[in-house]
Amino acid sequence: MPTEAFHDVVIIGAGAAGVSAAIECFDIQLDVMVLECAGKVGGQIDEIPHTVRNVAPAPDGNDALVDALAHHASVLGDRLQLDRKVTGLDLDNGTVVAGAQPFRTRSVLMATGSRRRELENAPEGSFGGAVTYLVEPHLARFAGLPMAVFGGGDSAALDALALASAGSQVTLVHRSPQLTARPDLVDRARSEGRIVEMAGWALGSLVGPGQLEGVEVTDRAGERRRLDVDGVVLKLGREPRVDLVRHQLHLGAHGGIVVNADLCTSRPQVFAAGDVVEGAYERIATAIGQGALAARSILKYLGSRQ
């Protein structure tokens, strides 16, 4: 199959960073192509368990935020291709492959975001539906049941509080000596009588051949305890989506793509923005800003190659 003419930039991912970069590239008259594996723009916004309020121009409601992104992205026309999963990326040759179609490009922007970490033996809905990674859609099912929430950050604290408000007795288990959630959430969790905190403990195993019968937890000294719970919420953090570039770009200690101040990676023709960046501050506003900056950096790079 013949390859297409060279694009100035191919953007992989149409979340907040990718859409922001694409619109900026369009405005500065770069030949941009955006490839998104999902059927709509917005990236990880659908996975945010609360209403986004820290993006100043965003309307209330995450669906409205996705709609706003889609509206702004509509200016791209067929330069935005949805349901286009990138299956291959050859940075040496400047080729991006989506399905059977190759796209040739002078530069690449990685805006692939991050994904939640999951246990291989405990996917969403396993153990008879007792295991979840996002409690909000299942709150009615778990209401009033004894629950264990694993994690010490904002999301874990919010889920524990939601369960407690629904009448559950909640054990909040986290590895660190102290909760890492926002101070206001920590105060709320510790003042909630239905939440018991277990600091310095970690998930050992889920008990039960099919249905959940409980969980075993361990501490650093090797002590084990069993918690008799009917449901488990796992908040194991997120990991950057770097499968396409794992052996092609420098990655940091946390698995993200290492960039400089201009969001350039270890290869001068490749840039990264948003949650896929090493040490990313995982906020939509940050991703939007980085997308715009990446577009300007790409323009500068292309100008230097003429």
- Encode the chain (306 residues) as per-residue pLDDT tens digits: 444 568 999 999 988 899 999 999 999 999 999 999 888 666 665 565 555 555 545 556 556 666 677 767 778 888 989 999 999 999 999 999 998 889 999 999 999 999 988 888 899 999 999 999 989 889 999 999 999 999 999 999 999 999 999 999 999 999 999 999 999 999 999 999 999 999 999 999 999 888 999 999 999 888 999 999 999 999 998 899 999 999 999 999 999 999 999 999 999 999 999 999 999 888 888 898 999 999 999 999 999 987
Neighbours of 220 (CB within 10 A): 9
Residue 4, pLDDT score: 58
d(CA 32, CA 105): 9
Sketch the domain layout of the chain as residue ranges: 9-116+238-304, 126-234
Q: Give alpha helix (H) positions in 96-182.
A: 126-129, 139-142, 154-165
Determine the CATH number of domain 9-116+238-304.
3.50.50.60
Residue 6, pLDDT score: 86
Residue 305, pLDDT score: 85
* pTM of the predicted model as reported, rounded to 2 decimal places: 0.79
**126-234 has the same fold as 9-116+238-304:** yes
The b-or-e profile of 92-118 (16+ CB within 10 A means b, else e) is eebbbbbeeebbebbbbbbbbbbebee
Please, is 243 exposed, middle or buried when counting C-beta atoms within 10 Å of its C-beta (0-12, 13-18, 19+)?
exposed
Determine the CATH number of domain 126-234.
3.50.50.60
d(CA 113, CA 20): 13
Neighbours of 89 (CB within 10 A): 20
